[in-house]
C-alpha cells in the first residue's frame, strides 16, 4: 500500500500530474466516450487557473460550480484551488430558492455554469456574478467561455509560466451546502486537511489498483461522490462519467465498471426490477429464477453448495450482467440500505459495501470494505476518527475530517460541535462487539405522540416504501394522537400501465380497487409487527410529483420532512 505524501488538495494535483493514464477521465460526446489523459488534465488545469487569475479571481474568493458532473467540473474545481479560491459546488437540479440562497450566503463572485436555461433562475440581486460558461456562449459583459479562456491561459503560461498556489492545511478548500431533511441549506466549511485525511484513510482500507475502472453517476456537488472521486483521482484509475441518470443501465454494460458508488435508491430500483422481470418470464424460467431469487435472500448462504453453483451459472450470472459483469466493489452511501437488498446483491456476486457519514465530517465516518464486510452494518469507523455514544444513544465523532464549521452560523456550529471537539451527529447508533457501527434512527425522527409514546419514523417509512406501489413514505406522529402516513406513489408502475392505455391518468390508476386493496392489506400486515402506538391508523395516497427541484427531496433522495409537512398540512390535518 502506497502512503500518500500530499497534505493539501493542491498537493494532490501535483501527485496526479505524476501519474500516467491515457484514459484517465472519460465523457460522452454524441453517444461515444472521449478520453482526457492525465497529461491533458494537468495542462487544462494549469491554463484555466492562469486564465481565472487573469480574470481577477483571488485567493479566498468563493467560486460556484453549477454544472453536471464531468471532467470539466473537475478541471474547473482544481483550477479554482490553484488560484487559492474556494469552490462552492451547486447541484444541477437545485431548487431556484436554494440556488439564490447559496449564491448570497456564500458571497459568491464567480460561477462556472453549463446550463443556459438555469441562468433565468438567478435573481436580480445576484446579477453581479461573473459567469464562465460551458456548452454555450453569451457575448455580453460578465460572461466568459470556458474554451476561449483556456486559450488565454495557454498564452499566459507560454509567456510567464505557472507558479502553483501553496495552500495551508487549515485553509478552507470548499463550502458544501447541505440541507439534511430540514430544507434550509447550511454551508459546511471544509479544509484541505479535512478532505486529505479522508483520502489517507480510504487508501488504508481499500488500496485501489490503477487497473480499476469507475463509473461515476452521482453528482459531484454531493460530498460523498466528491470524496470518492478525489480518491479515484489519487489512484489514477480510469473514470467514466454518466451523461444522464436515465442512461445508467445502458452505460454499465458499455463501460463494464469494476467499482461504483451508488445511493440505496438505485439498488432498490434494480432489485425491484429484477423481481418484476422474473414474473414476466415463461413458466419454467420463472420457476427457476424465482427459486434462485429466494435463495439469494438467505443470510448465511453456502456458496460452495451444488445448488448455489447451479443458480449462479443459470441465474446470478445474468443478474450480474446488469452491472456489466465486472463489478468488484459497489459502495453505497448517502442513506440507509435495506439489509435484505444488501444480502441479495452480495449473494449474487455483486459485493456491496455500505458506509455512513455526514457532510460535516467530509463525509465518511465508517464503512465496510474488503475482508471486513458485515451486511446490515455501516462498517467499521475509519482509522483517524474516534466515536462514542452520548445521551439518547446519539453518535458523537471527532477527528481530522471534522469541518471547520457552518458558514455564517456560529451559534449552530457551537450547538453541533461541543467544547471538547465532538460532532453531535443527530443519529441514534450502537457498536457491536466486533466494532461494526449500526445507525438505528435520527434523534429528531423519533417522534413523541401526544400520549407520550415514541415512534421511530424512519424504520416505518422504510417498511412502507417496500410496497411495490409506494416510492416514498412520510410518517406523521409528532405531538399527534396517533400515527398516520403520506404515501407518494411509484410513477414507474403507472407509466407501464399507460403504455397499454394512453388516456389513463395517474389519479385513475391509483384509484383502482386492486391497488387500493394491495396497499391496505400491506399496511394491515405491517401494523401487526408494530407496537400499538406505532401502527398507521390512517394514510393518504399522493400522486403529485416529489422531487429535488421542488425541494421535497434532498439531493441524496431523502425526504425533506419540513417541506412536505408544510405543503400537505391540510391533508395531514384531515387525518386527525
Tell me the mean pLDDT in the region 410-438.
96
Indicate whether 559 pLDDT > 80.
Answer: yes
pLDDT value at residue 560 = 85
Percentage of the chain exceeding pLDDT 90: 82
Indicate whether 77 pLDDT > 90.
Answer: yes
pLDDT in tens, 277-293: 998 899 999 999 999 99
C-alpha 551/C-alpha 562 separation (Å) is 10
**Which residues partner with 132 through β-bridges?**
112, 144
Q: Note whether 211 and 374 are within 8 A (CB).
A: no
Mean pLDDT is lowest, of 6-15, 60-69, 109-118, 496-505, for 496-505
| Cβ-proximal residues to 282 (8 Å cutoff; 6+ apart), any chain | none
Annotated domain spans of the chain: 9-246, 300-325+327-334+343-443, 449-573
CB atoms within 10 A of CB 291: 14
415 or 97, greater pLDDT = 415
Q: CA-CA-CA-CA torsion for 498, 504, 506, 511, nearest 10 degrees?
A: -120
pLDDT in tens, 310-321: 999 999 999 999
Structure confidence at residue 183 as a pLDDT band (50, 70, 90): low
Structure confidence at residue 519 as a pLDDT band (50, 70, 90): very high
**Which residues partner with 384 through β-bridges?**
none
C-alpha 215/C-alpha 248 separation (Å) is 9
Tell me the mean pLDDT in the region 172-198.
89
Q: Note whether 493 and 269 are within 8 A (CB).
A: no
First to last CA, the chain: 60
9-246 and 300-325+327-334+343-443 have identical folds:
yes
CATH of region 300-325+327-334+343-443: 3.40.50.12780
Cell, residue 261: 458508488
Q: Note whether 430 and 424 are within 8 A (CB).
A: no
C-alpha 384/C-alpha 364 separation (Å) is 11
Mean pLDDT is lowest, of 110-114, 198-202, 498-502, for 498-502
Locus of grid cell 426490477: 273
Buried b (16+ CB within 10 A) or exposed e, 128-141: ebbbbbbeeeeeee
Indicate whether 446 pLDDT > 90.
Answer: no
pLDDT value at residue 180 = 58
pLDDT value at residue 551 = 79
C-alpha 388/C-alpha 299 separation (Å) is 29
Indicate whether 557 pLDDT > 90.
Answer: no
pLDDT value at residue 443 = 83
CB atoms within 10 A of CB 422: 19
Structure confidence at residue 182 as a pLDDT band (50, 70, 90): low
pLDDT in tens, 235-284: 999 999 999 988 999 999 999 999 999 988 889 889 988 988 998 899 99
pLDDT in tens, 364-418: 999 999 999 999 999 999 999 999 999 989 999 999 999 999 999 999 999 999 9
CATH superfamily, region 449-573 = ANL, C-terminal domain (3.30.300.30)
pLDDT in tens, 119-145: 999 988 888 899 999 999 999 999 999
pLDDT in tens, 470-483: 999 999 999 999 99
Cell, residue 394: 446519539
3-state SS of 336-396?
CCCHHHHHHHHHCCCCEEEEEECHHHCCEEEECECCECCCCCCCEECCCCEEEECHHHEEE
C-alpha 214/C-alpha 25 separation (Å) is 10
Structure confidence at residue 549 as a pLDDT band (50, 70, 90): confident
Structure confidence at residue 181 as a pLDDT band (50, 70, 90): low
Domain covering 9-246, topology: Rossmann fold (3.40.50)
Amino acid at each position: 500500500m502506497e502512503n500518500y505524501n500530499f497534505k493539501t488538495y493542491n498537493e494532490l494535483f501535483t501527485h496526479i500530474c505524476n501519474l500516467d493514464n491515457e484514459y484517465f477521465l472519460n465523457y460522452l460526446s454524441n453517444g461515444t466516450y472521449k478520453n482526457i489523459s492525465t497529461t491533458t488534465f494537468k495542462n487544462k488545469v494549469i491554463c484555466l487557473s492562469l486564465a481565472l487569475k487573469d480574470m481577477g479571481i483571488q485567493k479566498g474568493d468563493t467560486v460556484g460550480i453549477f454544472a453536471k458532473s464531468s471532467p470539466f467540473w473537475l478541471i474547473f474545481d482544481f483550477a479554482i484551488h490553484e488560484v487559492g479560491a474556494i469552490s462552492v459546488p451547486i447541484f444541477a437540479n437545485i431548487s431556484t430558492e436554494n440556488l439564490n440562497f447559496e449564491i448570497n450566503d456564500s458571497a459568491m463572485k464567480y460561477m462556472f455554469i453549463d446550463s443556459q436555461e438555469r441562468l433565468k433562475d438567478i435573481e436580480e440581486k445576484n446579477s453581479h456574478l461573473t459567469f464562465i460558461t460551458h456548452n454555450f456562449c453569451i457575448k455580453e459583459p460578465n460572461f466568459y467561455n470556458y474554451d476561449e479562456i483556456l486559450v488565454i491561459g495557454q498564452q499566459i503560461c507560454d509567456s510567464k509560466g505557472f507558479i502553483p498556489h501553496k495552500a495551508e492545511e487549515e485553509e478552507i478548500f470548499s463550502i458544501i451546502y447541505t440541507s439534511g431533511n430540514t430544507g434550509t441549506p447550511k454551508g459546511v466549511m471544509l479544509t484541505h486537511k479535512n478532505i486529505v485525511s479522508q483520502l489517507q484513510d480510504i487508501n488504508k482500507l481499500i488500496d485501489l489498483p490503477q487497473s480499476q475502472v469507475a463509473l461515476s453517476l452521482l453528482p459531484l456537488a454531493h460530498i460523498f461522490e466528491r470524496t470518492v472521486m478525489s480518491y479515484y483521482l489519487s489512484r489514477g484509475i480510469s473514470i467514466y462519467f454518466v451523461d444522464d441518470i436515465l442512461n445508467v443501465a445502458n452505460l454499465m454494460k458499455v463501460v463494464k465498471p469494476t467499482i461504483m458508488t451508488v445511493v440505496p435508491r438505485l439498488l432498490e430500483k434494480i432489485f425491484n426490477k429484477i423481481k418484476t422481470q422474473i414474473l414476466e418470464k415463461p413458466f419454467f424460467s420463472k420457476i427457476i429464477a424465482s427459486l434462485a431469487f429466494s435463495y439469494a435472500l438467505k443470510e448465511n448462504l453456502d456458496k460452495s453448495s451444488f445448488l448455489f453453483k447451479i443458480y449462479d451459472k443459470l441465474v446470478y450470472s445474468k443478474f450480474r450482467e446488469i452491472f456489466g459483469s465486472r463489478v468488484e466493489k459497489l459502495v453505497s452511501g448517502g442513506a440507509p440500505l435495506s439489509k435484505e437488498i444488501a444480502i441479495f446483491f452480495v449473494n449474487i456476486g455483486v459485493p456491496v459495501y455500505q458506509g455512513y457519514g455526514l457532510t460535516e465530517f467530509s463525509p465518511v465516518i465508517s464503512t465496510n470494505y474488503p475482508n471486513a464486510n458485515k451486511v446490515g452494518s455501516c462498517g467499521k469507523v475509519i482509522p483517524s476518527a474516534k466515536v462514542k455514544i452520548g445521551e439518547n444513544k446519539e453518535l458523537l465523532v471527532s477527528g481530522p475530517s471534522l469541518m471547520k464549521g457552518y458558514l455564517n452560523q456560529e451559534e449552530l456550529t457551537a450547538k453541533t460541535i461541543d467544547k471538547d471537539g465532538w460532532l453531535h451527529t443527530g443519529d441514534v447508533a450502537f457498536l457491536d462487539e466486533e466494532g461494526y457501527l449500526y445507525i438505528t434512527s435520527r434523534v429528531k425522527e423519533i417522534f413523541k405522540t401526544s400520549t407520550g409514546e415514541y415512534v421511530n419514523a424512519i424504520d416505518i417509512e422504510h417498511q412502507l416504501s417496500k410496497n411495490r406501489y409506494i416510492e416514498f413514505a412520510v410518517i406523521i406522529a409528532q405531538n399527534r394522537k396517533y400515527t398516520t402516513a403520506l404515501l407518494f406513489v411509484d410513477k414507474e408502475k403507472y407509466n407501464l400501465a399507460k403504455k397499454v392505455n394512453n388516456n389513463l391518468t395517474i389519479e385513475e390508476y391509483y384509484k383502482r380497487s386492486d391497488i387500493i386493496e394491495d396497499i391496505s392489506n400491506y399496511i394491515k400486515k405491517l401494523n401487526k409487527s408494530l407496537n400499538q402506538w406505532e401502527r398507521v391508523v390512517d394514510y393518504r395516497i399522493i400522486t403529485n410529483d416529489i422531487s429535488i427541484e421542488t425541494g421535497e427531496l434532498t439531493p441524496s433522495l431523502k425526504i425533506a420532512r419540513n417541506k412536505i409537512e408544510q405543503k400537505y398540512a391540510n391533508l395531514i390535518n384531515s387525518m386527525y
